Structure 1
Amino acid sequence: MVNFSDLQLHDMEPVYVQIVRHLKRAIFLGEAAVGESLPSRRELAAQLCINPNTAQKAFRLMEEEGLIQTPKNAASTVFYDEETLGRIRQEMTGDLVRQFVAEAKENRLTLAEVMKMVEEAWQERGENV
């Protein structure tokens, strides 16, 4: 079952959007596979201490975005195709990169300087380049 217990809600955006983003991140990281079940709307509302209508709104949005399926009289499950997965990947990384590039340019860094700093930071984390 998809785990929402580590979702830390905040006041910066609507709760239902945070729930949808949490599922997208789980899909992006490979932590939510196609066919994996989600808690019921009531279970999610109780777990996150939110209004059941907010949970319902999150489920509706996840269905509209092609992230879950809810068959009649059955639990909702994760569902996405390659196109949806590509859209999630772009959403999860594209905005981050654009923001980083904008700030680097505001700081008048060259592409070479940025690439060197990224490579150094990558290596500091113990990852292979």
Structure 2
Amino acid sequence: MNSGGSALSLRRWWRSVGFAWAGVAHTYRSQPNFRIEVWAAVTALGLTVLLRAPLAPIALCCALVLSLELVNTALEAAVDLASLERHPLARAAKDAAAGAVLVASGGALLVGVSVLGGALWSRLT
């Protein structure tokens, strides 16, 4: 398959960005959990800026959760495409990918509470 030119080609890079953005947009349209996570990230990032708290840990956690949800969606689609029949290994793969999102979400919550909790408490009292 022709790669469309040099790996350093700006045109090729923009084309790749377009494909990636199409994946994000499809996931946003088709996955309710991703929409919830996007708006939770927007809220967390807005609160971080409002409270003048450290942005990096919150942004990193948001990116991690959203990225894992995208990977989870891709894995589920690939497993569904590979076999229409139910199979214990397919279920294990899907459950493990969903578990990765759950673990990252729990970690993000802990980071959010530790980074934003004190700043929010100070503002409220």
Provide TM-score, normalisation by structure 2: 0.29
Provide TM-score, normalisation by structure 1: 0.28
**Relative contact order higher in (CA < 8 Å, ≥ 6 apart):** 2
